[in-house]
Amino acid sequence: MKNRHFNSSFAVHLSSLMAFVCLATLPVLAQKPSPTEWPNLTTVNKPGVRWWWLGSAVDEKNLSWNLASLDQAGIGTVEITPIYGVQGEDAKEVPFLSPRWMQLYTHTVAEANKRSMWVDMNTGTGWPFGGPTIATAQAASRQLIVKQAIKALPGGRATSQRIALRVADTRQQPLATLQALLFVGEDGYREQIPLTLYKEGFLEWGTPQDGIVYALFVGKTLQQVKRAAPGGQGLVMNHFSQAVFNHYVSRFNEAFASSGSPWPHTFFNDSYEVYGADWSENLLEAFKRL
């Protein structure tokens, strides 16, 4: 009887508790959810798209049509990247940054402005930065280390010897320039060797003990701009040199100044794929200074 009385009492209390919970939550369930407050739709929060100009084979009519379609789809920004052309459409290609190319770009900006769209532009074609204005001396660089074991003359005399120091890669031989010479002796002795003693692939120098001569040459990666558009082909630039970068962008300064074209909303780098570049001609000097 006690168990039966306990179970029935528990059921009454439980049903009362359930009724209280339902009544307590009823006002909450009856409330309407507040609408989500989205920010006003502007160019800032609209999506952007990469806009490949294949061979820059574009014209005013189709540029306007494309921008109208993108605007209708809700796109707020286009990023222009000229790239290699389409086979069979060579006659329609427009060289990058030529007067005609700048006309087409200016038309694009004017059409975009009508729709409150932004136009961004790759500071080059394909990737990485480089092109026809980059000479070999301004191209992406790499370090080349040549080492040569030498022995002291009998009696430890340091009379000059003729030591061959040549870069093995035949492609680099006419390009490589010597930057530093260091001798490391067997007992850890170190000596920086004057560059004036190196001539035509040979070092005229004598060592007081057995050791190794290390020669640091600056070579070139010889990398070409990948997927370059017409007018953008050439060597990849030395990305570690401020002077080379200033020279590279001067081409853009001149094109915009001569055409009177408006600057894009943003310049951007499509992709940093500078393979094998690990040196710059001024690196040793900068290292000592810093």
pLDDT in tens, 132-157: 999 999 999 999 999 999 988 776 66
pLDDT at 219 over 90: yes
Q: Write out the two tokens for 195.
A: 């560059």
- Say what the pLDDT of residue 270 is: 87
Confidence of residue 161 (pLDDT cuts 50, 70, 90): confident
Q: How far apart are CA 34 and CA 204, in angstroms?
A: 86
From residue 165, how far is each of 58, 178, 207, 243, 281 by CA, in Å?
53, 10, 15, 30, 19
Q: Are strands 211-220 and 141-150 parallel, antiparallel or unpaired?
A: antiparallel
What pTM did the predictor assign? 0.81
- SS3 category, 104: helix
- Say what the pLDDT of residue 181 is: 97
Percent pLDDT > 70 in the chain is 87
Q: Are 65 and 58 in contact (CB under 8 A)?
A: no
Overall average pLDDT of the 75-97 stretch:
96
Which of these, 109, 114, 116, lies nearest to 263 by C-alpha position?
Answer: 109
- For residue 172, the cross-strand partners are none
Which contiguous run of DSSP H or E holds residue 243? Answer: helix 242-259
From residue 23, how far is each of 28, 144, 249 by CA, in Å?
10, 82, 72
- SS3 category, 119: strand
In which residue are the tokens 């038309």 written?
A: 107
Overall average pLDDT of the 269-280 stretch:
94
Q: Show the DSSP H helices in 51-148 as ranges.
A: 60-72, 99-114
Q: Write out the two tokens for 123.
A: 């500071």
Peptide bond into 230 cis (omega under 30): no
Q: Is 255 exposed, middle or buried (0-12, 13-18, 19+ CB in 10 A)?
A: middle
pLDDT at 226 over 90: yes
For the chain, the first-to-last Cα distance in angstroms comes to 93
